Structure 1
């Protein structure tokens, strides 16, 4: 299996999801994001891993 660099759009999506998860974790006033911050960060990692494993269009 060949690994490729993710496209810029996939990278930006993963970074935005990771930032949303961090904001939700460190700012508990945003309750709905704080509850799911672990899962949002997991989705960000999966998006980034998929971008590396599959060839960009």
Structure 2
């Protein structure tokens, strides 16, 4: 399943994570109590996925 920023941020809050890592070639990851946890329920991120996720929180002037 392709991740949306809303999905990822919802899980981040639910798990009490401090960071969200979005990196091409890996699953989205959360840092919880200093430990990285992969969100394997989502697909590994391809370049277009990382761009889509980043752009989803930017306005046109920021892109």
More strand by share: 2
Identify the structure with bigger relative contact order (alpha carbons < 8 Å, sequence gap 6+). Answer: 1
Whether the TM-score (by the shorter chain) exceeds 0.5 is no
**Between structures 1 and 2, the one with greater helix share:** 1
Question: Max radius of gyration: which structure?
Answer: 1
Question: What is the TM-score normalised by the length of structure 1?
Answer: 0.30
After TM superposition, the score normalised by the length of structure 2 is 0.28
